[in-house]
Structure 1
Amino acid sequence: MTKKAKYGSVKVVDRSGKLYLDFRFNGHRFRPALDLVNNLQNHRHALALASRIELDIFANEFDRTLIKYLGDKKTEGTIGEARDKQLIGMYAYWQGLKELQGNDYEGVYRFIKRAAPNWNNLQAAVSAQNWSTTTHNRYCKILNTFIQWANTQIDKDVKELKLVKGTKQKDPKRKPFTLDEMQAICSQFKAFYVYAQGSHSQCENYYYLVLFLFATGCRMGEIVGLKAKHFNLANGTVEISESLSPKSAYDSARIQKSTKTGSVRVLPLPDFLLEIFSRILAGKKPDEYVFLGPQGEPVNQKNFTRRIWPVVLNGLGIEYRVPYAGRHTVASMAIEQGIPLTGIAYLMGHSDTTMVMKQYGHMINRPNLPDIDLTA
């Protein structure tokens, strides 16, 4: 059964005197440049091209590569040249053709849309991204599958596209923090000011959030999703059962849902946290969020990670690691203090010890070298 096309108008947009088209199709936004200056004749041509695309969308004959429409604005040139200019259109076509869904495929689409690379500088654009090693290699695998397909679609006289390279470098972003680094970060956040609602003001909730992160090792979504009802001050515990997380890795909308593994764990609060939360939870209703941003909304972990956290670390001269490294810090310290693997798995919210062994196996039961006296 043929999928019903999504209806929508195609707009002609002027940007710095140049004409562009702007429209959406099946959840993807297209903004191809027409390489035309904005004059009466070219504007009429662009409107005609927009009408043609609208008709094709209505008739389920839309060409996602946009090559069919690029030919209207430029008669000379090869299909390879048109393909070079519309990498994002070709990727969207491939994704729809193969019915590929998921956060990683959308992530690659967002990368192409944001970085706007062409085929010649795609490797450089990939290398310039601040991805983790795991994300880098996953994205490169998707890009290379796409490139291999694209090579089957081009003319024989067009130079074959090159695959992008992954990385085997160790990811420094999750290197545990030292105790001195954690203390310095907490002190800096205690005095941190943010600009909101027309003035600078102190945002203590960032300080409380970082304290909770370094003390418990919870995931960021679990922390910002905490509500007053999750705290049992009488018993000195906090229940980690929900998470406030984006719908996808590239979606700004957030939803309250279960934890990543669906687990529910109850953690004891250290005395200093119990004192803090006894004060800040006073007067809060059970369903009110605990960690609020400067404008009174739950802290946005993406904004915090990208705009707030790096400022503090750079100001202190501390090697950059993502906030998630705080989670690895707690797990590493737990191992060094001899807490059993089953206990660490529970604290981290894992269903068993498999993930603990995979991430921290090199730290567990490290043997000493045999006692060999070579001085005799």
Structure 2
Amino acid sequence: MREIKPVNNNGSIQLKFSVGGKRYSFNPVPGGQFTNHRDFKTTQAIASQIQNDILAKNFDQTLDRYRLTPKQPVQSSTQASKPQTLLELWDYWVDSLNLSVATKQHHYKAIRQQIIKATPDLMDTLWLTQSNLGASTFNQRLGYLKRCYRWAVSKTLVTSNPYDELKTRRMYAKSIKPFSSREIKVIIRGFEELAIHYAPFVKFLLATGVRTSEAIGLRWCHVDFDQGFITIQESLSRDWAGNGYQRVRKETKTGSSRHLGMTDELRLLLWSIKPPKPDQDSLVFTTVQGKTIDDGNFRERYWVKVLTKVGVDYRRPYTTRHTTASHAIDQGTPITGVAYLLGHKDTRMVMQTYAHMVNRPDLPKIPL
């Protein structure tokens, strides 16, 4: 299947492609310009969604699912009446950011839903400070609200920022418990006995340490048996603008790509599941029915079942990533190398997470 890409149509952006012999041509971003970076990126995301729907046999022939509504001009502060509630102010600010649909449907929507439920006044902060939020979520939402009110002050929509006075909540480092070598063997054996179809998927997660969405989105064109490496450059992530089960193909979390050299075991694993003549755009790992893997369903229906059956203390599937990193450190891989394997831009995150494992000294010998 040919990749769908935005094309320049006299300055505007169009998507042109064929499905089942029928040709389609339309502008998914009304008024969008080919030279506008945001419009171009939005169109790329929509193109990926169309391509994914075609592969999943879920293509909307009316194209309604892929069209954005025309952007409504945001009133300036001199035109707009001053907001009377936090909800009004929040909507003013979010509209001014000109966000993509997917971005707006994630953290911004979650905060808006909390505001709707609490119905706070414009300068009330108790609705947030008295909420039963974890420290990480509280600090994240406080940061958004501080930025919202700083913008409002600059636009003379409010006279002060009440959220600047609030302090973040203390966060405690979570104890990371990677799977031991014994647990890895037990888990793999459990999948081979109880959910054989997903055994290669689990082995791949453990062997590479990639993000779950990166493994889910891996295509055969990313696997180079001749040169012996796998390219990780995109993922199939949850489409927060959709129904929660749809996924959209996008770049990796850090926007970078990396080449992972295959071990002999990993090469044999991928070769064993490779179709005789695979479609290069088809997914390497799928459900039993050949559909895109949903990480939530996989966790609830298979992961929990296997770990319970084999007697391994539950940890979420993301622990496979910690497992790869911790075993790499134990085997002497430099921190810079671990950061690269995990797809981090620098070593900061690796040191924050795994510093306790690096160059651990032995206790001094004390005569007892």
Given the two structures, how large is their TM-score scaled by the length of structure 1?
0.57
Q: Say which of 124, 128, 133 aligns to 1:127.
A: 133
Given that residues 123 and 164 in structure 1 are in contact (C-alpha distance below 8 angstroms), is that contact kept between their aligned partners in structure 2? no
Residue aligning to 1:362: 356
User: Which SS does the other structure have where 1:333 is aligned?
Assistant: helix
Residue aligning to 2:211: 219
Q: CA, structure 1 residues 101+285, in 2 after alignment: closer, same or farther (shift >3 Å)?
A: closer
Q: Say which of 176, 185, 188 aligns to 1:186.
A: 188
User: Which SS does the other structure have where 1:297 is aligned?
Assistant: coil
Q: Say which of 168, 171, 178 aligns to 1:168.
A: 171
Given that residues 224 and 298 in structure 1 are in contact (C-alpha distance below 8 angstroms), is that contact kept between their aligned partners in structure 2? yes
User: Which SS does the other structure have where 1:117 is aligned?
Assistant: helix
In 2, the alpha carbon distance for the partners of 1:136 and 1:305 equals 26
Given that residues 230 and 262 in structure 2 are in contact (C-alpha distance below 8 angstroms), is that contact kept between their aligned partners in structure 1? no
Residue aligning to 1:93: 92
User: Which SS does the other structure have where 2:362 is aligned?
Assistant: coil
Given that residues 240 and 265 in structure 1 are in contact (C-alpha distance below 8 angstroms), is that contact kept between their aligned partners in structure 2? yes
TM-superposed CA distance for 1:90, in Å, is 4.0
TM-superposed CA distance for 1:170, in Å, is 2.0
Q: CA, structure 1 residues 221+93, in 2 after alignment: closer, same or farther (shift >3 Å)?
A: same
Do residues 280 (structure 1) and 273 (structure 2) align? yes
In 2, the alpha carbon distance for the partners of 1:292 and 1:209 equals 9
Alignment of 1:29-48 (within 5 A): none
In 1, the alpha carbon distance for the partners of 2:305 and 2:146 equals 35
In 2, the alpha carbon distance for the partners of 1:228 and 1:112 equals 39
Q: Deviations over 1:234-281 (max 9, x none)?
A: 66x34123322338766644125467452331322342x444333321
Do residues 241 (structure 1) and 232 (structure 2) align? yes
Q: CA, structure 1 residues 268+154, in 2 after alignment: closer, same or farther (shift >3 Å)?
A: closer
Residue aligning to 2:139: 137
User: Which SS does the other structure have where 1:298 is aligned?
Assistant: coil
Amino acid at match of 2:91: A
Amino acid at match of 1:110: K
Do residues 331 (structure 1) and 355 (structure 2) align? no
TM-superposed CA distance for 1:285, in Å, is 2.8
Do residues 209 (structure 1) and 201 (structure 2) align? yes
Number of matched pairs: 283
User: Which SS does the other structure have where 2:236 is aligned?
Assistant: strand
In 2, the alpha carbon distance for the partners of 1:125 and 1:190 equals 44
TM-superposed CA distance for 1:217, in Å, is 1.0
Given that residues 227 and 287 in structure 1 are in contact (C-alpha distance below 8 angstroms), is that contact kept between their aligned partners in structure 2? yes
Amino acid at match of 2:145: L
In 2, the alpha carbon distance for the partners of 1:364 and 1:112 equals 38
User: Which SS does the other structure have where 2:111 is aligned?
Assistant: helix
Amino acid at match of 2:142: C
Residue aligning to 1:30: none
In 1, the alpha carbon distance for the partners of 2:366 and 2:72 equals 81
Q: Deviations over 1:274-327 (max 9, x none)?
A: 443333213223332110124422323465457764565567675554433211
Amino acid at match of 1:340: P
In 2, the alpha carbon distance for the partners of 1:281 and 1:249 equals 31
In 2, the alpha carbon distance for the partners of 1:163 and 1:315 equals 46
- Contiguous gaps of at least 5 residues in structure 2: 1-28, 31-70, 121-125
Do residues 117 (structure 1) and 111 (structure 2) align? no
What's the % identity of the aligned pairs?
29
TM-superposed CA distance for 1:212, in Å, is 0.6
User: Which SS does the other structure have where 2:230 is aligned?
Assistant: strand
Residue aligning to 2:34: none
Q: Say which of 249, 252, 261 aligns to 1:255.
A: 249
In 2, the alpha carbon distance for the partners of 1:306 and 1:91 equals 36
Root-mean-square deviation (Å): 4.6
Given that residues 265 and 349 in structure 1 are in contact (C-alpha distance below 8 angstroms), is that contact kept between their aligned partners in structure 2? no
- Contiguous gaps of at least 5 residues in structure 1: 1-5, 8-56, 69-78, 193-201
